[in-house]
Structure 1
Amino acid sequence: MMGDIGSGANYPSLAGKSVFITGGGSGIGESLVEHFCAQDSRVAFVDVAEEPSRHLVERIQAKGHPSPHFIACDLRDIERLRAAITEAAELNGPIRVLCNNAGNDDRHRTEDVTVAYWDDRIAVNLRHQFFAAQAVRQQMKEAGGGSIINFGSITWMVGDPDCPAYVASKAAITGLTRALAREFGPERIRVNCMIPGWVMTERQIKLWLTPAGERQIAERQCLPDRLYPSDISRMALFLGADDSRMCSSQHFIVDGGWV
């Protein structure tokens, strides 16, 4: 069951709130954009893939929800990311919720990793999360607080063997979350880490959901149902809303009981 956006909880504190989402054009990010828009939040999102991102905007407009603002951005370009955050704040007001969602879990073997590839994986999966948090901090402080939701992965907890640079990045995000939560806390900025399990995005289904993968899910998850982007988005809504006002420096695992 993929879940209907309208069937979840409604958070009045998210209405009109400025939300910035990275990697919002597809997969979990696409679901985040849809769910926050359905809460009447003022959403801006960045993605490197322009065509699916523009289609997403059109689809949300057709549903009658507040239209999200798409900004084309390669997150390896930190100056472009900073400019996108400034643009979003100018349009929607000070950013109060940051979803550091973007990442890429391309498979690789240790013997094939070059220095250039390693540095690129860190840039794609880790570096932008820090600089996005850095960029929104002053806005959140002046607005009286905010919520930063970093996105990790259970891969580092289970020690997936086929993507060591990705696993290292995702492990680092947990440490980054705890450091920023301690530093930003006096400004009423909450910093938490969302840790998804194996989420059935279109990409995951197409590339890796083999019969062996199906058996692995059946063996490892406590719950028999498949995990979908909407399951992650619903937790993100809670972490963005005032309902989680005293939650910080934590990781929130949504994995069907895998770890």
Structure 2
Amino acid sequence: MDINDDKGIAVANSATKAGPGTVTYMHCDITKQDHVNRAFDKAVTELGGLDALAAIAGTEAIKPAENLTGADMDAMINVHLKHTVFTNIAALRTMKESGGGSIINYGSHVAITAHFLEMAAYGAAKGAVLAWTRNVATEWAKYNVRVNSVCPSVWTPLARRIVNDLGEEEKKRFSDYFKNNVLLGGDLGDIKHPANLNVDGGQVFAR
């Protein structure tokens, strides 16, 4: 699911070619609840059910907190919090009927610790994801639906682009920050994909 149809179709075709199984691409704006509901209804029909959801969509922004605007906050909240809420609710509808399931919401290390980069808006939105997760984990346990959050500190294509746009001094501060704060290796983690699956940093999930 994505709004970038060309890349989404390419990822689906590449994943299907790599196998096993097949991947179907669907256009979906995850900030709009009606889009999400339609996409999940179609996915459940094609898959024959839904056992797990990984709510992983995200975007990042670097801006001094004192200069943030309503538009800046809307962008962060819409993508991070609304998408989490809408996809979780859509998944729950099916999981309740089938007797349970697992939901994994992606937070961030920035949600639980300060960052030297100016990421207050991003951290606030991810912090809201963690609060949502704690609450619905308690509320939905009666349906045998587990809701957890992970807070990764990993390289993504978006993170690499942001760092590449930094000045040399800021790049050094970035490197020094992780050398001092990541005890295993001194750097962000990395996401590995099968060599024959060209997903350009995207994520592929299958039932």
Deviation per CA, 1:133-161: give whole Å up to 9, x if none: 11121210111110010110010222225
Cα distance in 2 for residues equivalent to 1:117 and 1:77: 18
Corresponding residue of 2:191: 229
Cα distance in 1 for residues equivalent to 2:74 and 2:188: 33
Gaps of 5+ in 1: 1-45, 232-239, 242-259
Quote the offset at 1:176 in angstroms. 0.9
Quote the offset at 1:111 in angstroms. 3.2
Does the alignment pair 1:71 with 2:44? no
Deviation per CA, 1:55-104: give whole Å up to 9, x if none: 21122122122121111122222211111111111111222111111111
Q: Which amino acid aligns with 1:144?
A: G
TM-score, normalised by the number of residues in structure 2 = 0.82
Q: Which has the higher strand share?
A: 1
Cα distance in 2 for residues equivalent to 1:215 and 1:117: 28
Corresponding residue of 1:185: 141
| % identity of equivalent residues | 26
Point out the more displaced range, 152-161 or 209-218: 209-218
Corresponding residue of 1:256: none
Cα distance in 1 for residues equivalent to 2:12 and 2:112: 35
The 5 A counterparts of 1:1-259 are 46-160=1-115, 162-197=118-153, 199-208=154-163, 210-224=171-185, 226-230=188-192
Cα pair distance change 1:50/1:167, threshold 3 Å = same
Deviation per CA, 1:169-195: give whole Å up to 9, x if none: 111111111111111111110000011
Q: Which amino acid aligns with 2:190?
A: Y
Cα distance in 1 for residues equivalent to 2:112 and 2:14: 36
Quote the offset at 1:212 in angstroms. 3.3
Cα distance in 1 for residues equivalent to 2:2 and 2:172: 31
CA RMSD of aligned residues (A): 2.3
TM-score, normalised by the number of residues in structure 1 = 0.67
Cα distance in 2 for residues equivalent to 1:65 and 1:182: 36
Cα distance in 1 for residues equivalent to 2:175 and 2:163: 10
Quote the offset at 1:226 in angstroms. 4.6
